[in-house]
């Protein structure tokens, strides 16, 4: 009886695990992405809007500032927001002579398609290529900045293309590990912990000590895995969506500009 009971329990455990894998992998995009659709007042006439898509597929981007600014910063937006909503933190950098650019992931804002990991990479790569081909930027003059889920495509771009620097704000080790902490699924979308070692440019990481979405510890681990030169800025009492406010908006922008212009100074390490 005991052996039969143990076998039955083992079958149930195996079934639950297999079911979890099937459901987790089959519904991963639905679970992972929370698209922000185009809001009222946000359309093709919005300041800086440009369609950088190819082959009839719309890839909505916004580019503000000089035609060829001192540097360009690609902002990879977070979840439940679009490219327009993510630019508020960078504020007046465009007025200071920098080119500020962002792109909607597939299914977000005005971009065509449905959100997928590969689709996010594609759209961010397309913006990178467009800045080089159309605006004439050199790769070393492009800084990529990823917030939250945007840390995934930002890290992937910096690991596979030459850029002048990588900024990660409230980054995770991988998307599922935000919840599981360790790898439980056979797939591991946005594996920042595996890619950060391939990033050869300067790295700046900001993370709030009271982040209520992505554990502060995950930003620390990524920093430890990153190559030099690198800098970690803990934002005291900073919550997930309020890093610039918690740090102070002026201080936040000064930090970004200093990194874009000077990289990591010896005394900052």
Q: Does the pLDDT at position 3 exceed 60?
A: no
Across 135-154, average pLDDT: 97
Across 87-95, average pLDDT: 87
| 3 occurs within a structural domain | no
Number of domains in the chain: 1
Q: Give the catalytic positions in this structure.
A: 148, 211, 240
Q: What residue spans of 196-248 are helical by DSSP H? A: 216-225, 243-247
- Choice among 12-21, 33-42, 118-127, 240-249 with the minimum mean pLDDT: 12-21
Q: What is the pLDDT of residues 20-78, one digit of tens each?
A: 444 444 467 777 788 876 666 678 888 899 999 988 999 999 999 998 889 999 999 99
| 81 occurs within a structural domain | yes
| 225 occurs within a structural domain | yes
- Residue ranges of E strands in 48-161: 49-51, 60-64, 72-76, 99-103, 142-147
| 27 occurs within a structural domain | no
Q: What is the mean pLDDT of the chain?
A: 87
Q: Looking at residue 220, which CATH number applies to its domain?
A: 3.40.50.1820
| pLDDT band at residue 9 using 50, 70 and 90 as cut-offs | low
Domain span including residue 239 = 33-268
| 9 occurs within a structural domain | no
What pLDDT is recorded for position 19? 35
Q: Does the pLDDT at position 99 exceed 80?
A: yes
What pLDDT is recorded for position 268? 67
More confident residue, 34 or 184: 34
Q: How far is CA 120 from CA 22, 117, 161, 181, in A?
A: 23, 5, 15, 23
What pLDDT is recorded for position 267? 63
More confident residue, 13 or 235: 235
What pLDDT is recorded for position 15? 36
Rg (CA), the chain: 20
| 100 occurs within a structural domain | yes
């Amino acid at each position: 009886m005991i052996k039969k009971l143990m076998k039955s329990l083992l079958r149930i455990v195996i079934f639950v695990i297999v079911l979890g894998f099937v459901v987790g992998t089959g519904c991963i995009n639905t679970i992972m992405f929370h698209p922000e659709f185009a809001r009222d007042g946000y359309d093709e006439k919005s300041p800086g809007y440009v369609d950088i898509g190819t082959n009839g597929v719309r890839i909505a981007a916004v580019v503000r500032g000089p035609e060829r600014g001192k540097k360009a910063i690609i902002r990879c937006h977070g979840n439940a927001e679009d490219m327009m909503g993510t630019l508020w933190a960078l504020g007046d950098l465009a007025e200071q002579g920098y080119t500020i650019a962002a792109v909607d992931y597939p299914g977000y804002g005005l971009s065509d398609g449905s959100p997928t990991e590969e689709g996010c990479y594609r759209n961010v790569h397309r913006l990178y290529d467009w800045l080089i081909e159309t605006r004439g930027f050199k790769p070393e003059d492009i800084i990529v900045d990823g917030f939250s889920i945007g840390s995934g495509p930002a890290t992937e771009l910096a690991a596979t293309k030459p850029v002048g620097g990588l900024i990660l704000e409230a980054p995770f080790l991988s998307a599922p590990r935000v919840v599981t902490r360790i790898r439980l699924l056979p797939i591991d979308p946005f594996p920042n912990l595996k890619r950060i070692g391939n990033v050869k440019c300067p790295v700046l990481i900001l993370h709030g000590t009271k982040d209520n979405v992505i554990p502060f510890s995950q930003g620390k681990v990524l920093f430890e895995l990153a190559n030099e030169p690198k800098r970690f800025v803990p934002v005291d009492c900073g919550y997930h969506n309020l890093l610039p406010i918690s740090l102070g908006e002026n201080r936040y922008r000064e930090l970004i500009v200093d990194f874009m212009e000077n990289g990591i100074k010896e005394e900052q390490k």
